[in-house]
Amino acid sequence: MMAYVCKYAPVEIVKGFGEECTLCNPMPDNFAAADQLTHRNICSFSRALIENRLKNSSGALLLTNCCDSLESACDVLRSINQMVFVLNLPHINKHCSKNLYKNELLKFIKDYTAYSGKNFDYTKFCTAFTQDAQEMSGKYVAVMGARLSEELLEFINKASPLPVKNNTCTDVRRFGNPPLTDTLEKLVDWYASELLSQTPCMRMADVSSRKMLVNDPNLKGIIYNTVNFCDFYGFEYMQLRKQLTIPILKIETDYTTQGAAQIKTRTEAFFENLKLPLTASPEKKQFQAVHPRPLEQQYTAGIDSGSTSTNVVILDSKQNIVSSSVLPTGVRVAESAEKALEDALKKAGLSKNQIYRTVSTGYGRANIAFRKRDVTEITCHAAGAHFLNPAVRTVIDIGGQDSKIIRLGENGTVLRFMMNDKCAAGTGRFLEMMAQSLGLTLEEMSTCGLQWDEEITISSMCSVFAQSEVVSLIAEDKKLEDIVHGLNLSVASKVIALGGRARMKGEYMMTGGVAKNIGVVRAVEEKLGSPVLVPEEPEICGALGAALIAAQNQFTPLHSGR
Ligand code: SF4
């Protein structure tokens, strides 16, 4: 049994020895074992590979000298006596490089014969070529950039409304038919040329033919993957971003299962907006009436199950907000959703069976059993903000544990979005921690910084370090108002930096619990140099968007790809 990781690997030669040769594309939970043997600054895929091989060392591993990270992984695995074959892969596809690679392949056949004690079989080699080229007909979405784990590829395939083409490192390998020849040299000469003639990856010197990957009218969107500490793919993404008009979502994977969870919300939001533009503005009243609902069920509900609070909005058939509720989420997401809905129903004097449809959003969206559909926070905040004010072009949402920037088009569709859900810095949780350090309630914190005198910079990007910065400022007897203003500015700087990558523009609306903090809103306005709209109840914007989606006539009861 042999495992391989690169599309230029001579898989068919291994099968020519009668051996299985399978793609190794692991996604471990963490790199606990690998990090004891290697430096953390190698690419996440190489760490995942080491972690996987430490747990499953059966058979040999077939690598190419793709990059320093994979070569480091090879050194680590050889140092623990694992059998690793490494082929010297040329960077160009010219006559001389084909010759070089032919010799590499011939040497590999000799080495593998010595290692396995088996002989290379021409027939087995020829039957190893499976023409599994995915010639897509019709519209499709492509995954491009660095390799993606099987789990994430499978998730994307499930969540995508269109067929998905894998154009990453692990994409399908295309070959012609092996020539009838009696010499191994001629056979391997042909094979080396076929291997090097595949669509070049970004590691290759000449990548001009990669443009054919994007010059296809049927290509309706791209998910572009970069891997932590992989240098090959960041550059191409920036180029594609500039030249393409189709939607393109950049994801960055760290090749662990935790990292995958964050990717899922982004890809779901990308697909939600690839499919149906959400037009929920008040003047589009025509569809509220046309959609037949049982007379006794004239209301729709939206539930935003967030990390800190669970928010509910109930709309009547004329899209008026008849009730809303904001309750702490606590540890049981589904229970909190039930409680928040009951609270909103009670306020409106309604009962649950008068609700025609419920749509959920937020972290816990998939855990609300009575939902008709779950939709990402990106799409719901966009719909809610557009409904509240169609002139809004950028939503700045700072929630309990994440912050989002959502760029809107004229009819409320999501044009671009950026999320920071990797760390709590600059979110509601950050402000809670700082308020505790300063002995303030969040309400006091909201206005305290408005009376500032001295501009203090809180530079730390990490909540924990920022807390120690605050403690030292207190020790320096700095004015409380100045410290709080410094914190407001640091929250504003973080969200503006996120927005910079989304190329945000006005009108601006701030939503989420932190929008109730006047000091932060003023700091964001100061940084933007522009006023920011804040709705009366900023934290229910997501739930409002969900309730609006529930009211849509083109409603597709979908559950996310889970
Ligand atoms: S970047 Fe290129 S050479 Fe490296 S593993 Fe991917 S396909 Fe192979």
Does ligand 1 come within 6 angstroms of the Cβ of 225? no
What atom in ligand 1 is closest to the CA of residue 7?
Answer: 7
User: Ligand 1 centroid vs 300 CA: distance in angstroms?
Assistant: 50
| The pLDDT value given to residue 351 | 94
Q: How far apart are CA 53 and CA 83, in angstroms?
A: 11
Cα-to-centroid distance, 6 and ligand 1 (Å): 5
pLDDT tens digits along 296-347: 778 999 999 998 899 999 999 899 999 999 999 988 899 999 999 999 999 9
Residues 6+ apart with CB under 8 A from 541: 380, 381, 384, 385, 388, 395, 397, 509, 511, 512, 535
Q: pTM for this one?
A: 0.81
| Whether the CB of 66 sits within 6 Å of ligand 1 | yes
Separation of CA 217 and ligand 1 centre (Å): 27
17 lines ligand 1 (CB under 6 A): no
> Counting atoms of ligand 1 from 1, which one is nearest the CA of 67?
4
> What's 313's DSSP letter?
E
> What's the longest Cα–Cα distance across the chain?
88
Ligand 1 pocket check for 549: Cβ under 6 Å: no
Distance, CA 38 to ligand 1 centroid (Å)?
A: 21
**So what's the pLDDT on residue 132?**
52
Query: Which atom of ligand 1 is the closest one to the Cα of 5?
Result: 5
The residue type of 495 is V
Average pLDDT per block of 10 residues along the chain, 562 residues long:
92 95 88 88 90 89 92 93 94 92 96 95 87 70 89 89 88 82 89 92 87 89 88 84 88 78 83 61 43 76 94 94 94 93 96 93 92 92 96 94 90 87 80 91 94 88 82 92 94 87 82 95 94 96 96 62 44
Q: Is the CB of 64 under 6 A from ligand 1?
A: yes
pLDDT of residue 211: 86
- 213: CA distance to ligand 1 center in Å? 16
Q: Is 62 in the pocket of ligand 1 (CB under 6 A)?
A: no
Is the shortest distance between the CB of 108 and ligand 1 below 6 Å? no
3-state secondary structure of 164: strand
Atom index in ligand 1 nearest the CA of residue 89 equals: 3
Determine whether the shortest distance from the Cβ of 53 to ligand 1 is under 6 A: no
Q: How far is it, in rounded angstroms, from Cα 47 to Cα 253?
A: 12
Predicted confidence at residue 292, as pLDDT, reads 63
Ordered structural domains, the chain, with CATH = 2-127 (3.40.50.11890), 140-272 (3.40.50.11900), 299-375 (3.30.420.40), 385-543 (3.30.420.40)
Whether omega for the bond prior to residue 507 falls within 30 degrees of 0, making it cis, is yes
Confidence at residue 277, expressed as pLDDT on a 0 to 100 scale: 45
Protein residue closest via CA to atom 7 of ligand 1: 169
Q: Among 24, 42, 45, 66, which residue has the most ligand 1 atoms within 8 Å of its CB, making it the best to mutate?
A: 66
Of the residues 93, 201, 227, which should be mutated to test ligand 1's pocket, given the most ligand atoms within 8 Å of the CB?
201
CB 25 within 8 A of CB 50: no
Instruction: At 339, list the tokens.
Output: 């409680």
State how far the Cα of 299 lies from the Cα of 286, in Å rounded to an integer. 16
